[in-house]
Amino acid sequence: MFTAQLAANEHCKLVDIERTFGVTGISVKWAVKQYRSGGGCRAFFQPRRGPGPGVLTA
């Protein structure tokens, strides 16, 4: 989320984040897309789905 904020607010370039943190370009772009579409940090901190219903076998 931190790197997505840096890139979305244009404090640094995507390539700078890639080189500094050693992540791929596609992961940075994905994080920025999630940050912009989800309304900030809410996109990263959504509750996870629990396990599905149990299956009854005979």
Within 10 angstroms of residue 9's Cβ, the number of other Cβ atoms is 9
CB 33 within 8 A of CB 14: no
Amino acid occupying residue 51: P
In a domain, 53, yes or no: no
pLDDT confidence tier of residue 42, bands split at 50, 70 and 90:
low
Residue type, position 54, single letter: G
Q: Please give the residue range of the domain that contains residue 29.
A: 2-43
Structural domain includes residue 55: no
Residue 50 is predicted with a pLDDT of 83
Whether residue 49 is contained in a domain is answered as no
Number of domains in the chain: 1
Q: Does residue 10 belong to any structural domain of this protein?
A: yes
Whole-structure pTM value: 0.62
pLDDT confidence tier of residue 44, bands split at 50, 70 and 90? low
Express each pLDDT in 9-32 by its tens digit. 788 888 888 898 898 989 888 888
Structure tokens at 58: 């005979």
Number of helical (H) and strand (E) elements in the chain, helices listed first: 3, 0
